Amino acid sequence: MKSSYKMATATCALSFALAFTACDDSTSASDNGGNSGNGGTETNVNCPNEPVNCPAIEYENEVYDLRDCNHYKIQTFGTQTWMTENLNYNSCEINGQNWCYGSDAANCQKYGRLYTWTAAMGLDKSYQKNYANLPEGTVTKGLCPVGYHIPSDAETDILIAYLEDNDKVAEFNFQFGGKNNFAGFADLDRTAYFWTADEDHSEFGGKENVRIWSYSETFSFGGGSIFKDSGLSIRCVKD
């Protein structure tokens, strides 16, 4: 059964000019010379993508990301196992498509990164303006650690229903990382926004829109649709 939060959601129409380089959190950049809403300036950064050698450590109730040695707490909710921390993975393949809130590297450590949908899904940037039309039921790893994937809209419905019905919302450990869009960064410490893997083919959507879900302590759960080049958080679910 779908959670009632979806019935009250309004479709969002938010986008932003791509801004801020991903490989150096101290500077900001844009394909168009900077996001005026965030005061960006263009910067060239050398990104060698050197391999990382992580120590052989086993973390209890955590997923260990061997790409960068980060580890994230996990918890089972009903039939699903989710990361209970926001993703904080960076690579030069997604340069210009992920941000630390306010261009402050400390916010990446506290809240995780904000990603475009194409970066989150591991898709070419051109799909920000076109349908990717992934086959129904496709499980997309995207940027998630091995064994985890970007959740579908249906998977988030199952999670939300479980959290609400079993009074487990606090255990999901929402980190209110805010968002980035054409107007700049917003809603830090107020709202958590997350991508799903599903493009919005509804009459209110379009080729540039994707289904999202959100949570705030004021308004509880929300959803709707947002432009693919927005910057949102990622929570991964186990395969």
pLDDT of residue 181: 94
| pTM of the full structure | 0.81
pLDDT of residue 55: 87
The candidate with the shortest Cα–Cα distance to 89, out of 45, 52, 124, is 52
Tokens of 62: 């955590």
Write the single-letter amino acid at 37. Answer: G
Each residue's pLDDT, cut to its tens digit, for the chain (239 residues) gives 344 444 344 333 333 333 333 333 332 223 322 222 232 222 334 455 667 888 888 888 999 999 999 999 999 999 999 999 999 999 999 999 999 999 999 999 999 999 999 999 999 999 999 999 998 888 999 999 999 999 999 999 999 999 999 999 999 999 999 999 999 999 999 999 999 999 999 888 899 999 999 999 999 999 999 999 999 999 999 99
pLDDT of residue 83: 98
Cα–Cα distance for residue pair 22/2, rounded to 1 Å: 36
Write the single-letter amino acid at 139. Answer: V
